[in-house]
Amino acid sequence: MRVLFFSSIFPRSWNVTLGIYCQHVCRALVDLGHEARVVSPKGWLEPRGRDPRPAYGLDGIPTEYPTYAYPPRVLQSRYDRFMALSSRAALTRVLDQFRPEAVLSYWAHPDGAVAARFARAAGIPSGVIVGGSDVLVLAREPGRRQRAVIDALHANSAVITVGRDLARAVRALGVPSHKVHVVYQGVDKDLFAPGSAVEARKRLGITPRGRMLVAVGSLLPVKGIDVLIDAVAVVAKTRDVSLYLVGDGKSRAALEAQAERLGLKDRVVHFAGKVDQRGLPDWYRAADLTILASRSEGVPNVLRESLACGTPFVATQVGGVAEIAEGTDCALVPPENVGALAAAIERSLAARGERGVPDQDAKRVALPGLMTWKESTQQIVDLLSGTSRPAGRTNG
């Protein structure tokens, strides 16, 4: 099958961790024997990358990065129009040269709206993968922005979610049930696998103070890292513990200041910065627990990756997190609750025992619905193959 993937959330040479999920899907399409092309609009305020157009993306997949011009922070309900205009030349070129049989997009609006419009004009099916916040946050904003997100979902032949909770949220917006499909994310089982915590710590060059916690993700308000730092401050009163924050983001300065005020920075709380996918497994292996303190989530794959490496988690019960915890002894707590999070961390560490030396051979924890990326992506292809063509001109 020839698939055009359209999303502004896709890795660039200057931001290789952006849209890792999308990269996995496109790589799996090719590995399955399908053909893929990517059009990924880059905002005009993004750094000017050196990628030529068309470029061969980070996985050798032909990728175009048209510059997407839009008025910042205003007219957001009309961003699909700006994105469509900015991407028209690239999309027309791909249609003429590649002749896609389906369009797959990520993020409901504006990306999914543009993809659906293009697919309809080409007479081919379109599927949009919702990311989480586009449905859980943006679609709940009253007014035109909410309407734009809902219209984008309705316009696509299929709406793909990465968990049951997101599927319920999509249906609650009035999208017909027959259009809504759950396809869990895959995990790279070759990369994310159990290993020696001792060796992982050596490779990372770290010597944690006592028990080690890790939180992987962007340093943004929605991730609740401020709550986590306060919770770790409580835990640190009664035991030696270290928290490593793997990721970066606009909240970093504020979080560093918070850790400094609490007397924890560089003693208990460590900022490891952004790490690419291949570097993540050792962080999971090195840790006693992975912590996710988010205020809102879809179905975060970092928790699956942690379990695949043999490390349990403590997480807030938001979005589809409970779906990942099914069948495990991982702890769930309410969001925004420092006391509950601190208590759950303490209980989970106690249950793990006092590992003076971390286990050399961590045991894989059974994962609900664990699939490889190829298995997950093939389900998406099957959905696209089974959807009907929209009214419009045919691609023949």
Q: Both 127 and 214 in a single domain? A: no
Residue 358 lies in a domain: no
Give residue 369's pLDDT. Answer: 53
Give residue 16's pLDDT. Answer: 81
- Mean pLDDT, range 308-337, rounded to an integer: 94
Residue 64 lies in a domain: yes
- Rounded to whole angstroms, the Cα distance separating 307 from 285 reads 10
- The tally of domains found in the chain comes to 2
Within 8 A by CB and 6+ apart from 391, the residues are 120
Give residue 360's pLDDT. Answer: 42
Residue 192 lies in a domain: no
Q: Both 179 and 307 in a single domain? A: no
In this prediction, residue 279 has a pLDDT band, given cuts at 50, 70 and 90, of very high
In this prediction, residue 371 has a pLDDT band, given cuts at 50, 70 and 90, of confident
Q: Both 348 and 255 in a single domain? A: yes
Q: Both 165 and 207 in a single domain? A: no
Q: Both 248 and 222 in a single domain? A: yes
Q: What percent of the chain has pLDDT over 70?
A: 90
**CATH code: domain of residue 7:** 3.40.50.2000
Residue 365 lies in a domain: no
Residue 259 has pLDDT above 90, yes or no: yes
User: Strands across the sheet with 313-316, in order?
Assistant: 269-273, 241-246, 211-216, 289-292, 313-316, 331-333
326: which 2 tokens? 């099914």
Q: Both 49 and 99 in a single domain? A: yes
- Mean pLDDT, range 143-161, rounded to an integer: 94
Minimum mean pLDDT among 45-49, 183-187, 241-245: which range? 45-49
Residue 364 lies in a domain: no
Q: Both 180 and 251 in a single domain? A: no
Q: What is the DSSP string of 115-134?
A: HHHHHHHHT--EEEE--SHH
Residue 104 gets the label, from left (phi > 0), alpha (psi -120 to 50) or beta, of beta
- Mean pLDDT, range 141-169, rounded to an integer: 92
101: which 2 tokens? 């049989």
Q: Both 300 and 163 in a single domain? A: no
296, 133 Cβ separation under 8 angstroms: yes
Residue 287 lies in a domain: yes
Q: Both 237 and 285 in a single domain? A: yes
Q: Both 155 and 270 in a single domain? A: no
Rounded to the nearest angstrom, the gap between the alpha carbon of residue 298 and the centroid of all alpha carbons in its chain is: 8
Q: Both 220 and 169 in a single domain? A: no
Residue 265 has pLDDT above 80, yes or no: yes
Residue 357 lies in a domain: no
Give the residue among 127, 183, 133 at the shortest CA–CA distance from 155.
127
Residue 52 lies in a domain: yes
Q: What is the DSSP string of 8-54?
A: S-S-BTTBTTTTHHHHHHHHHHHHTT-EEEEE--EETTS------SS
- DSSP secondary structure code for residue 279 in this structure: G
pLDDT, tens digit, for every residue of 63-92?
999 999 999 888 889 999 999 999 999 999
Q: Both 232 and 341 in a single domain? A: yes
Residue 219 has pLDDT above 50, yes or no: yes
10 Å CB burial of residue 391 (0-12, 13-18, 19+) is: exposed
- Rounded to whole angstroms, the Cα distance separating 224 from 216 reads 12
Range of the domain at 85: 2-186+372-386
Give residue 105's pLDDT. Answer: 98
User: Strands across the sheet with 102-106, in order?
Assistant: 55-56, 62-64, 35-39, 2-6, 102-106, 126-129, 158-161, 180-182
Minimum mean pLDDT among 129-143, 220-234, 236-250: which range? 129-143
Mean residue pLDDT of the chain comes to: 89
